[in-house]
Amino acid sequence: MNDDNLQNDPGHRRKVDNFRLNISDDEFGGFPNSAAAGGDEGQVIHSYSDPKAAQQAENAAKEAEERAAKAHKLRNREKRRGNRFFYRMVWLIMVFITAGLLAQFAITGINDMLAVGRESVAVTVEIPANATTAQVADVLNKAGIIRDKAFFQLYSKMTKADGHYTNGSFQIKTNMDYEAIITKLQSSANRVDIVKVTFPEGVNAIEIANLLEKNGVCTAKEALSAMNSSKLDSDFTMISSISNPKERYYKLEGYLFPDTYNFYKNEDPVQVVRKMVSNCDGKLTKEIRNKISAKKMTIDQTMTLASMIQAEAADKADMYKISSVFHNRLASGGTDDLLRLRSDPTIYYPYRNKASVPSNIRDTFKSRYNTYTIQGLPPGPICSPGADAIDAALNPADTKYCYFCHDSKGNPYYAVTIAQHEANLKKAGLK
């Protein structure tokens, strides 16, 4: 029988209508949410519940949940969009402000760099030794030469001028641009703090150092240290050829040519000494050096002998006769103890006399230059000889004198023998 016949059969319909599933709740095990279990009334799933409706309800719940989630995301998105807009506006405002400040900095800085609007007024500034760019900028700013210290420092760094500024006094016009200012401050030739110092013939190293300090060029201690330095050896062969530097009190004694010099205030002491040695090197012309070689002497021996002549002589004419005395004694071969040159200025060298020796060593001081105790020339020059003394050392008068002395007025007395010399000492009032 097909399905249509079954639906129309009365007997079959009664069976269906009367059919009941006769299973007790106890046998099934019950449901936790049922009223019989003592729980609250809730949804009870019966065998006759529609599964499609349950599925639809479940799907509807999920859809509602998804819609809620989407709505939340949408709200967050809108919120973030609003925040981004706010932050972008703040960022743009900051960019505009920064750009404005930078533009103002650049415009004012460039105007200052080009000296726009500044009148021409000569101003003297003092740049300290080892000055930083910040210090230089501060000095220039206070003097009214620049207005923008920060821009000057930036320009100095970009042009690699940092660390290349020269100390000293400079005269700068206020209408000069940065490039001209920096160029001027980098050369000692532009300094205006020049001091003129004259060193007379016959001054020694200590006296030279004291004169330098007195004139504000450098300290005496710095000068004496530079005189013992080896920094000039590679520049001057006459200095590098000195064979006994450790035996000398001051290595460059005798090579600091007496003259008038222009120095700068607080100048580098090595540069100060270099000027004086360079002058000496120039004064020893090729002709003089050839003469030294012809005499079978060294430059150092010549300068040492010239310094003794300079220290002893009363005048230029006296120099040539005193030179003859020293030459005759050196050529004596040692007879009558003539190799002891007995030159008074050597007794207390490097000091001028006993009174100038420091009091704490005055009574015990013994100079290793003392020609009363050593034979031949001392270890080095004892002062700065002038051109005449150098010439006299190379061109002694033709005499047989082996002794000389001077009275209190500087009048000279010469002798060939010791007996004549003793008589001269009495004439000069020295005995």
Q: What is the CATH number of the domain that holds 158?
A: 3.30.1490.480
Is the pLDDT at 10 greater than 60? The verdict is: no
Q: What pLDDT is recorded for position 73?
A: 73
Residues in the chain: 431
Q: What pLDDT is recorded for position 346?
A: 98
Q: Quick one: DSSP state of residue 173?
A: E
Tens digit of pLDDT for each residue in 308-331? 999 999 999 999 999 999 999 999
Q: What pLDDT is recorded for position 60?
A: 77
Among candidate residues 283, 313, 348, the one where a domain is terminated: 283
Q: How far apart are CA 425 and CA 431, in angstroms?
A: 6
Give the mean pLDDT of 152-161: 92
The answer to whether residues 316 and 417 belong to one domain is yes
Domain assignment present for 31? no
Total number of domains in the chain: 3
Tens digit of pLDDT for each residue in 263-287? 999 999 999 999 999 999 999 999 9
Which residues are within 8 A (CB) of 332 and not within 5 positions of it... i.e. 6 or more apart? 338, 339, 402
- Local structure of 330: helix, strand or coil: helix
Q: Which two tokens stand for residue 148?
A: 């923008």
The answer to whether residues 335 and 421 belong to one domain is yes
Domain assignment present for 27? no
Residue 117 pLDDT class (50, 70, 90 cuts)? confident
- Please report, for residues 178, 240, 347, 368, the alpha-carbon distance to residue 373 in angstroms, rounded to integers and kept in the order given: 65, 28, 9, 8
The CATH number for 246's domain is 3.30.1490
End-to-end CA distance of the chain: 179
Which residues are within 8 A (CB) of 2 and not within 5 positions of it... i.e. 6 or more apart? none
Among candidate residues 192, 219, 253, the one where a domain is terminated: 192
Q: What pLDDT is recorded for position 57?
A: 75
Q: Which residues form the domain of 306?
A: 296-427
Tens digit of pLDDT for each residue in 88-107? 777 677 777 776 666 665 66
Q: What pLDDT is recorded for position 37?
A: 43
What percent of the chain has a predicted confidence (pLDDT) above 90? 68
Tens digit of pLDDT for each residue in 30-51? 444 444 444 444 455 454 456 7
Is the pLDDT at 222 greater than 70? The verdict is: yes
Task: Give the chain's largest Cα–Cα span.
Answer: 186
Q: Which two tokens stand for residue 400?
A: 């047989």
The answer to whether residues 247 and 301 belong to one domain is no
Contact, 260 vs 318, CB < 8 A? no
Q: How far apart are CA 347 and CA 35, in angstroms?
A: 137
User: What b/e readout covers 190-206, taking b as 16+ CB neighbours within 10 angstroms?
Assistant: ebebeeebebebbbbbb
Q: What pLDDT is recorded for position 50?
A: 67
What is the CB neighbour count within 10 angstroms for residue 251? 22
The answer to whether residues 199 and 279 belong to one domain is yes
Residue 64 pLDDT class (50, 70, 90 cuts)? confident
Domain assignment present for 8? no
The answer to whether residues 302 and 403 belong to one domain is yes
Contact, 280 vs 257, CB < 8 A? yes
Domain assignment present for 86? no
Is the pLDDT at 224 greater than 80? The verdict is: yes
The answer to whether residues 318 and 408 belong to one domain is yes
Q: What pLDDT is recorded for position 71?
A: 72
Q: How far apart are CA 11 and CA 318, in angstroms?
A: 174
Domain assignment present for 209? yes
Closest-CA residue to 381 (of 211, 247, 273, 213): 247
Q: How far apart are CA 46 and CA 242, in angstroms?
A: 127
Top-confidence residue, 59 or 10: 59
Q: How far apart are CA 124 and CA 127, in angstroms?
A: 10
The answer to whether residues 260 and 244 belong to one domain is yes
The answer to whether residues 336 and 403 belong to one domain is yes
Domain assignment present for 24? no
The answer to whether residues 204 and 241 belong to one domain is yes
The answer to whether residues 207 and 161 belong to one domain is no
Q: What pLDDT is recorded for position 330?
A: 97
What is the CB neighbour count within 10 angstroms for residue 241? 11
Q: Where is average pLDDT lowest: 157-166, 202-211, 292-301? A: 157-166
Closest-CA residue to 404 (of 337, 316, 314): 314
Among candidate residues 232, 261, 283, the one where a domain is terminated: 283
Q: What pLDDT is recorded for position 334?
A: 86
Residue 140 pLDDT class (50, 70, 90 cuts)? very high
The answer to whether residues 198 and 178 belong to one domain is no
Mean pLDDT of the chain: 87
Q: What pLDDT is recorded for position 15?
A: 56
Is the pLDDT at 176 greater than 60? The verdict is: yes
